[in-house]
Structure 1
Amino acid sequence: MIKQDLVALIEKKRAELIQVAITNGLTSSVAIRNSQELDHLLNEYNRKYIKKVPSSAC
């Protein structure tokens, strides 16, 4: 999956989550499922595209 496709999926899932939360509440099973799916997409994005920055020794 290319970066733009993943970003588009993340944006779509985020919009779905907002709509579901407005309609059913943040603690509804549908909102929780959508939130978990969004987390999965964000984690995938982070793994693929966010560089790990080593912490400097203090």
Structure 2
Amino acid sequence: MIKQELIALIEKKRAELIQVAITNGLSSSVAIRYSQELDHLLNEYNRTYIKKTHQLVSQ
């Protein structure tokens, strides 16, 4: 997955989470599931792009 696609997925999932939280509450099961999905996407972004960038700077 290219960087821009992942960023787009993160933004979409964040918007969905906000809408679900407004509608159903932040502690609803659907909001928790969306939050976990967002966490997964953010972790993937961090593993793929942030750590690689940090390693290059550290060398």
TM-score (norm 2): 0.86
In structure 2, runs of 5+ residues without a counterpart are none
Which residue is 1:45 aligned to?
45
For the pair shown, the structure with the greater C-alpha radius of gyration is 1
Distance in 1 between residues matched to 2:25 and 2:7, nearest whole Å: 25
> What count of residue pairs does the alignment treat as equivalent?
54
Which residue is 1:5 aligned to?
5
Runs of 4+ in 1 over 3 A off after TM superposition: none
Specify which structure has the higher proportion of helix.
2
In structure 1, runs of 5+ residues without a counterpart are none
